[in-house]
């Protein structure tokens, strides 16, 4: 319909110029309308697209918001979980705290029970006092055994109102002192029991706090027997000192007598002995040709006996001098001293077949001259008692020792001795071999022991019959100051 109208209008316009202009205007108007319609259509589409875009963006933001909400919910759930876990841990901590408190209460109960048992079974008397009033708060059962007063007789009373302490000004003074200090001790405090017996006690008081209340614990120990024992020891010491003084005086007197005896031996005995030897020699010279062989043998025996007696007198004098001689200790080189000793006895050893084994010896702190007498005696004995050996062996060395002393030994392969007589070896005049077997007076080893004892050392021996002997002596090592 529109098309037909338009066709007709077109034809008219072709025939009419005005109509032509009008038609052209109409066409332009229609084009404009179409353009506007198209523009409107385009704008509407754009708006629709923009609206759709905004809708998509809104949907996207909604999704993002939903995601954030989900994340927030997740974090909330995690926080709730952590809160639950924290609450669980708190509950566990509270449970442990309650258990610890329960254990603490049980421990306190056990500690209190233990203290009570110790308090009741203690073998010392114990009083617990109120530090403010001096009243007895508690008393253990041993107080009855110690002083005869029962626990009930102590409770609730002040210290100076109780039997053994009653009326004692010292008790009040001690209590007053305890209020300003924490500890007081009395040694040998005299108390009287309920039966009237006197006892001496050790009284020790200590102050301490219990639940902010100051208490005083008094420990009372019976020391009567200890005091009696101490008094007896003092008496015995005094008696001992008197005995020692008396014995010292007796020893001094004995030493004086020994010195007088030594003087007598050296002068009074030697003179008759010289006379005997002199007259025997004169008799041999004057009457020798007229005497029988048997009489000459008798005279020879007299001479030998007198000579042995002279040697014995010399050894006795030496033994006496060893005990009186003043000690002069120096550092002694034992190696040199051994060599000097061997030269001293060279006359007895030069014709002998002796194998010497001499170790290197340390230095010792000793009196050199006295120590030389020891070595001369011991080495001479080793030479003498190996006299029957075709090849004698004598060893001199240092024995290991950890007792702060140097131990020297002289060992030989000689006649030896019976071990059961070892204790007799170092006695004066004690001989384990007859004079016919080996000459000697029995003084040498006694001198050895006396010299070593004066040095603070020891002397001993080991031996087997016919298998040799070993003699030892020790010298204390010098202590560093």
DSSP string, 383-429: HHHTTT-SSEEEEEEEE---SSEEEEEEEE-S----GGGGGGTTSTT
Q: What is the pLDDT of residue 13?
A: 47
CA distance 461 to 417: 10
* pLDDT per residue as tens digits for the range 185-234: 878 778 888 888 888 888 888 888 887 788 888 888 888 888 888 888 99
Q: What is the pLDDT of residue 171?
A: 66
* pLDDT per residue as tens digits for the range 260-281: 766 666 667 777 777 788 888 8
C-beta of residue 430 within 8 angstroms of C-beta of residue 440: no
CA distance 109 to 117: 12
CA distance 354 to 191: 82
Cβ neighbours for 148, distance < 8 A, ≥ 6 positions apart: 193, 194, 195
pTM for the whole structure: 0.45
Q: What is the pLDDT of residue 11?
A: 44
Provide block-wise average pLDDT over 10 residues at a time, the chain (481 residues).
45 49 66 67 72 84 85 86 85 80 69 74 85 84 83 80 66 71 78 83 83 84 87 88 85 73 68 80 81 83 77 68 72 93 84 92 90 88 87 92 86 87 68 50 77 90 88 83 44
DSSP strand pairing (392-399 vs 354-358): parallel
Q: How far is CA 206 from CA 96, 189, 209, 220, 481, in A?
A: 37, 17, 10, 12, 44
């Amino acid at each position: 319909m529109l098309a037909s109208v338009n066709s007709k209008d077109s034809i008219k316009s072709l025939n009419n110029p005005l109509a032509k202009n009008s038609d052209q205007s109409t066409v332009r108007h229609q084009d404009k309308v179409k353009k506007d319609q198209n523009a409107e259509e385009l704008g509407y589409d754009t708006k629709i697209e923009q609206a759709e875009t905004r809708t998509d963006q809104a949907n996207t933001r909604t999704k993002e918001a939903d995601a954030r909400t989900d994340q927030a919910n997740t974090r909330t759930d995690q926080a709730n979980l952590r809160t639950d876990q924290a609450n669980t841990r708190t509950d566990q901590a509270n449970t442990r705290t309650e258990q610890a408190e329960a254990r603490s209460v049980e421990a306190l109960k056990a500690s209190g029970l233990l203290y009570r048992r110790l308090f009741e079974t203690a073998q010392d008397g114990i009083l617990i006092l109120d530090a403010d009033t001096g009243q007895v708060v508690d008393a253990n059962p041993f107080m009855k055994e110690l002083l005869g007063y029962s626990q009930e007789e102590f409770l609730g009373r002040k210290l100076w109102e109780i039997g053994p302490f009653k009326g004692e000004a010292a008790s009040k003074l001690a209590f007053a002192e305890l209020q300003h200090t924490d500890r007081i001790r009395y040694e040998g405090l005299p108390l009287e029991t309920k039966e009237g017996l006197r006892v001496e006690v050790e009284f020790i008081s200590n102050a301490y706090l219990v639940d902010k209340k100051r208490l005083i614990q008094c420990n009372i120990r019976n020391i009567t027997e200890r005091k009696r024992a101490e008094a007896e020891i003092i008496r015995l010491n005094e008696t001992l000192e008197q005995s020692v003084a008396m014995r010292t005086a007796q020893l001094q007197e004995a030493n004086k007598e020994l010195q007088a005896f030594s003087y007598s031996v050296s002068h009074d005995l030697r003179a008759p002995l010289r006379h005997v030897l002199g007259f025997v020699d004169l008799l041999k010279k004057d009457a020798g040709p007229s005497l029988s062989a048997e009489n000459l043998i008798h005279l020879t025996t007299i001479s030998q006996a007198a000579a042995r007696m002279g040697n014995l007198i010399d050894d006795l004098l030496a033994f006496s001098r060893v005990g009186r001689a003043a000690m002069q200790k120096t550092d002694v080189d034992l190696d040199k001293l051994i060599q000097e000793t061997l030269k001293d006895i060279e006359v007895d050893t030069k014709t002998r077949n002796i194998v010497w084994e001499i170790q290197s010896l340390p230095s010792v702190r000793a009196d050199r001259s006295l120590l030389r007498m020891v070595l001369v005696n011991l080495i001479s004995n080793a030479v003498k008692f190996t006299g029957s050996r075709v090849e004698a062996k004598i060893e001199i060395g240092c024995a290991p020792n950890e007792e702060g002393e140097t131990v020297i030994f002289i060992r030989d392969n000689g006649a030896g001795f019976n071990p059961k007589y070892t204790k007799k070896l170092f006695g004066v005049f004690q001989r384990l071999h007859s004079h016919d077997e080996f000459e000697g007076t029995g003084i040498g080893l006694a001198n050895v022991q006396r010299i070593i004892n004066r040095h603070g050392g020891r002397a001993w021996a080991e031996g087997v019959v016919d298998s040799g002997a070993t003699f030892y002596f020790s010298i204390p090592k010098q202590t560093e100051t």
